Amino acid sequence: MDVTIRGAGVFGLSCAWALARRGARVRVIDPAGVGAGASGGIVGALAPHVPEQWNDKKAFQLDSLLMAEDWWAAVAEIGGGDPGYARTGRLQPIADNAALERAEARGVEARTLWRGAATWEVIKAPADWPPGGGRVIHDTLSARIHPARACDALARAIRALGGSIDTDAPERGPVLHATGWQGLAEMRDDRGRPAGAPIKGQAVLLDLDRRDAPQLYVDGLHVVPHGDGTTAIGSTSEREFDHDHTDVLAEDLLERARAALPVLTGAPVLRRWAGLRPRARSRAPLMGTWPGRPGNFIANGGFKIGFGMAPKVAETMADLILEGTDRIPEAFRTDTLAPRRG
């Protein structure tokens, strides 16, 4: 089967990879190129939702995080690129006794909800990562990935399997739309509202080599040591903004991170990044057929969890497109979208 994918962000590329592995001839089309939007970022925190108040979104994310190691390893093996994946875990400082009680209760829940595949526990803080003297949550489910390099690795793997990635080309076969915030803004639900909107995020990349350390979640920020000897800090969530370029909030973000983690002080800034991330109205990825448009499909709305969700999103969409098998959770469905006109 020929399949066309519009959008070369993580959802589009991941779906193309899953389809190509099953024998489809895939063509990815994106005028801006590979990872040109939010997927070309620098943070790459693959972190789970807290293990409580379980729902379809959390269960879907768990499955995706658990399959990620083998999935990204296959991408690297076939294409020769390095996505920067490593399941290094995460530490979160505990602020007070109330937070400690919540953390311990969630640890009990994790034993069941995470099916023994990962742990969530309270431990003593390491000496300087984060500063010692207190308790921290340690989960072994969190992983890291280098977003831009992961997109490049996917593109290499797709081409290795005979797929193409073009800035413009005719469509062939079913069409999957993974077009980021622009696509969400153009889609309307049955009440005439946009299916989603862009949320601006900013991040900073430091020249600090902690590649063997777990990622941290401190003061609402992700601190992610990458395998290339850099450390990323992010990110902001801005619903109102004048432009999508980096501005003063990146410096504020860096100051907050240094205050919480003094070891970051003095590390040179390599890059400041800003981008617009696609958030669906439901806050869950939007997946399925495009109502009123036979042969067209949608996978969009990754927002902050797109890379963590990508393996499961990709395999689920491949099931739907190639086999007609629908395993999409109710909260993710496109049923409320209005048929596209024209």
How confident is the model over 311-324, as pLDDT tens digits?
Answer: 999 999 999 999 99
> What was the pLDDT predicted at 342?
45
Structure-block tokens of residue 5: 């994918």
Side-chain half-sphere CA neighbours of 314 within 13 A:
29
20-77 pLDDT per residue, tens: 999 999 999 999 999 999 999 999 999 999 999 999 999 999 999 999 999 999 999 9
Is 50 exceeded by the pLDDT of residue 267? yes
- The residue-averaged pLDDT of 5-11 equals 98
Tokens standing for 321? 């497109």
- Asked whether residue 235 carries a pLDDT value surpassing 80, the answer given is yes
Alpha carbon distance 340, 292 (integer Å) = 7
List, for residues 275-290, the tens digit of each pLDDT value: 999 999 988 999 999 9
Dist CA 144 CA 86 (whole Å): 5
- pLDDT recorded at residue 46: 98
Q: How far is the C-alpha of 294 from the C-alpha of 300, rounded, in Å? A: 18
Whether the per-residue pLDDT at 339 is higher than 90: the answer is no
Whole-prediction pTM: 0.96
Band the pLDDT of 190: cuts 50, 70, 90.
confident
Query: What tokens were used for 305?
Result: 């969890």
The residue count for the chain? 342
Closest CA to 180 of 276, 305, 244: 276
Q: What is the rounded CA–CA span in Å between residue 34 and residue 8?
A: 5
Higher pLDDT, 64 or 250: 64
In the chain, the percentage of residues whose pLDDT exceeds 70 is: 99
pLDDT tens-place string over residues 72-105: 999 999 999 999 999 999 999 999 999 999 999 9
Beta bridge partner(s), residue 223: 216, 233
Distance of CA 53 to the CA centre of its chain: 21
